[in-house]
Amino acid sequence: MTIRFDGRVAVVTGGGNGLGRDDFLELAMRGARVVVNDLGSTGAGQGKSHLAADQVVAEIRATGGEAVANYDSVATRDSGNAIVETAMMTFGRVDILINNAGFLRNSRFEDLTDEQIDAMMDVHLKAAFYVAQPAYRAMKMQKYGRILFTSSAAGVFGNPWQANYGAAKAGLVGLMNAVALEGERHGILANALLPTAHTLLAAEIDEGWMEVTSVAKVLPEVDFSAISSHLGVEQNTPLAHHLVSQNCTSTQNCYSAIAGRYSRVILGSTDGWSNGLTELASPADVEAHWAEINDRARYHVPRCVFEEFVPAIACIKAARNSQQARQWMNPN
């Protein structure tokens, strides 16, 4: 089935380079009218320039598409409102939001400064609130919307030298969950993308990973030569654009894109262990049942906090029933 965006209006933050640029060009080619937001910074968040956004707008218009540039930072509430207002004033609506803007300030965890921490929270996490909130309100009025948060494997799985970046990107998963839960009844779906590509961000990754034991252990096993020619930003676009299309009915999920391999990323809880609440478990009890607690043979993927209570209570009841059965069979 061909995916089109005719009549839709898309806002992509950080759209002048890398993932955002490819998003814009492809969305416009498929019929969307787009707001090209880009501050024009480097991969480290330095400087400002209108050039990147203007070039994307020019490319889109040259092929008959409709686009307008916006140069606001995403890091303040006023600028977030201004980005969405650009879409509303120019095109009268906003149907798609891809929160993509960002940069890196890498350092060892112990050496991170307040500036390096705050910069990541401002441009990745707080900025997503600032742009998504006004976009969400517009989508709610329309009873339709698609929001895609650009998270990262660094946030979900972890990456050395990126504690600040990873914490902000993990925060986006929590934000996505809440937006998806609240927005579903209004026709607003939200998901998160964990992309992989050679971009300005990737160019900022520091040396020193080999000092981390787990990374040094696994890197020799990774055959990068098999995918080195397939790490362009375009490999992320098919998944991203399905997720923001009308065809997509999935919401509140994380998806990974690595060199043309697309997968769902899950965060779940195992069946676990319980003593049936007959008495307060001790640390020694927990240690004795550590294998059961960590056993991934059976697990659950809750959609909200309360869904985790269902398997937890089932585990408690099963343990209690098992104890009662043993007492019945061995009354003495």
- Could you write out the DSSP letters of every residue in 157-226? T--TT-HHHHHHHHHHHHHHHHHHHHHGGGTEEEEEEE----STTGGGPPS-GGGSHHHHHHGGG--GGG
Contact 179, 190 (CB under 8 A): yes
When mean pLDDT is compared across 30-34, 44-48, 244-248, the lowest value belongs to 44-48
Q: Which positions are annotated as active-site residues?
A: 165
Q: What is the DSSP code (8-state) at residue 300?
A: E
Residue 331 has a pLDDT of 61
When mean pLDDT is compared across 61-65, 216-220, 300-304, 314-318, the lowest value belongs to 216-220
Strands 254-258 and 188-194: parallel
d(CA 244, CA 262): 15
∠301-259-177 over CA atoms, to 5°?
Answer: 30
Contact 70, 86 (CB under 8 A): yes
Residue 23 has a pLDDT of 78
Burial environment of residue 249 by CB neighbours within 10 A (0 to 12, 13 to 18, 19 or more)? exposed
d(CA 14, CA 100): 6
pLDDT in tens, 224-239: 889 888 888 889 999 9
Residue 201 has a pLDDT of 46
d(CA 43, CA 18): 10
d(CA 180, CA 184): 6
Reported confidence tier of residue 289, pLDDT bands at 50, 70, 90: very high
Cβ-proximal residues to 57 (8 Å cutoff; 6+ apart), any chain: 36, 67, 68, 69
Tell me how many helices (H) and strands (E) the chain has: 12, 10
Mean pLDDT confidence for 96-123: 94
Closest CA to 212 of 139, 297, 154: 154
Closest CA to 176 of 190, 194, 187, 155: 190
Is pLDDT of 325 > 80? Answer: no
Residue 96 has a pLDDT of 98
pLDDT, averaged across the chain: 90
Top pLDDT among 265 and 104 is at: 265
d(CA 246, CA 3): 8
When mean pLDDT is compared across 4-8, 227-231, 249-253, 255-259, the lowest value belongs to 227-231
Is pLDDT of 83 > 80? Answer: yes
Percentage of residues in the chain having pLDDT higher than 90 = 70
